[in-house]
Copies of this chain bind each other. A is one copy, B any other.
């Protein structure tokens, strides 16, 4: 039998578990799409806590769905294979050789590693790209410039994802799709996450980023805005509160809300357990954009 003091600590721990009850209750049986990228994917210490958060989400009755990025790994392999990339307007011009490497790294390395990490926590996961199960039908981005195999989502068929979710297997999805002729396209993971969250009628879409969230003063992390109504975003952009690199992110959020996702979260993926902190506390740690 543990002594009184240790028992007290344990009771505190148990108390903390039950504090999570209202959140567990509210999000029960809800689909949560997580865009997983940036530091959260690279820093091993952070990564471990996030993977545990995902496992916990599953165990307490939510349905996490992961859409991941994989930037640095791609560059590293392209370099090793001495394939050079041209960038126009920040987009990588993607020829067939490059696309091949991008797919191998995303679908054959990053993706399967996330699956392995999750399964170590006793949950089942499956590594997919948008090509599997005819899930993501892509099309070449429209532009005067030929970016090669850079695509956007034409539409999503969520049938297979739903069946896997129902079987309690966490889908981990690489941001790749194919068109009706079988051509493979590299898709921006942020937009891919929007399309998938929309097709699944997700309760939440959560972005793990390398910034604290939407801030009133970009240099002051304490100026973070916890809640924004979707309808207030246009005026926030007009007023310059949302500016710079945050604008495309927030436009993704708006798009997601329009496609039927209830809330979109922008989190600091550099904080340990950031998922649990955002989902299981009243104020959270990042910014939540609400549909209504």
- Which residues of chain B are near A1, meaning CB under 8 Å? 212-213, 221-224, 285
Q: Which residue of B lies closest to A166 (CB)?
A: B163
Once the chains are docked, how many angstroms separate the CA of A169 from the CA of B134?
10
Instruction: Please tell me the size bucket of the interface on A.
Output: 35 or more
Instruction: Indicate if the CB atoms of B272 and A14 lie closer than 8 Å.
Output: yes
Instruction: Indicate if the CB atoms of B107 and A103 lie closer than 8 Å.
Output: no
A80 → B minimal CB distance (Å):
5
Binary per-residue interface labels of chain A (97-113) against chain B in the complex, 1 for a CB within 8 Å, 0 otherwise: 00010011111110110
> Is A81's CB within 8 Å of the partner chain B?
yes
Q: Which of A193-220 contact B (CB under 8 A)?
A: 212-213
Once the chains are docked, how many angstroms separate the CA of A276 from the CA of B273?
22
Report the copy number of this chain in the oligomer: 6
Once the chains are docked, how many angstroms separate the CA of A36 from the CA of B283?
36
> Is A94's CB within 8 Å of the partner chain B?
no
> Is A178's CB within 8 Å of the partner chain B?
yes
- Which residues of chain B are near A56, meaning CB under 8 Å? 17-18, 20-21, 24
Binary per-residue interface labels of chain A (19-52) against chain B in the complex, 1 for a CB within 8 Å, 0 otherwise: 1111011001000000000000000000001001
> Is A85's CB within 8 Å of the partner chain B?
no
- Which residues of chain B are near A7, meaning CB under 8 Å? 271, 277, 285
> Is A289's CB within 8 Å of the partner chain B?
no
Contact segment of A117-125, A144-152, A232-240, A257-265: A117-125
